[in-house]
Amino acid sequence: MAEEYKGIEIKKKEQLFKGKTLEELNILDAREFAKLLPSNSKRNVLRNFQNHENFLKLVKEKMEKGKKFIKTHKRDLVILPELVGAKLQIYNGREFLPVEVMFEMIGHKLGEFSLTRSKTKHSKEEKSKKKLPGKK
């Protein structure tokens, strides 16, 4: 983790989630990890731990087969530490959007990274047509 630059040792910032590193988090199973989450996410994981574990097993199997992306409709699953580094395609209601799971995403839901609504872009012509006649 440390690099030498002109005799000065530079350390990269260690990534922690609730005071634990990624290696420590990977050892925990879904129920133990849930204890570190905020209340709403904790409740979701504890009530649906079987769904989370089945999804993790599916992701690991597909990654071993060499699939680049794993497609899913499950937007309500909480991102667990075992998913870090996985490349998912999450359905937003119209298409599958590619998402690479990073350390900072742990504890959030998959749907937060696959937006369902896009920002509308108005052209200059559309704005000029909307002006009412008679007003200046």
Residue-range domains of the chain with CATH: 12-51+61-116 (3.30.860.10)
Cβ burial 93-123 (10 Å sphere, 16+ → b, else e):
eeeeeebebeeebbbebbeebbeeeeeeeee
Q: Is the pLDDT of residue 98 over 80?
A: yes
Residue 67 pLDDT exceeds 70:
yes
Q: Are 84 and 78 in contact (CB under 8 A)?
A: no
Nearest to 103 by CA among 27, 20, 29, 35: 20
The model's pTM is 0.76
Q: What percent of the chain has pLDDT over 90?
A: 52
Give the pLDDT of residue 130: 67
Question: Taking 60 as the threshold, does the pLDDT of residue 1 lie above it?
Answer: no
On the question of pLDDT at 132 being above 70, the answer is no
Per the prediction, the chain carries an average pLDDT of: 86
At 15, the pLDDT band (50, 70, 90 cuts) reads confident
Q: How far apart are CA 40 and CA 25, in angstroms?
A: 19
CA atoms of 93 and 35, how far apart (whole Å):
31
Q: CA 82, CA 32: separation in Å to the nearest integer?
A: 13
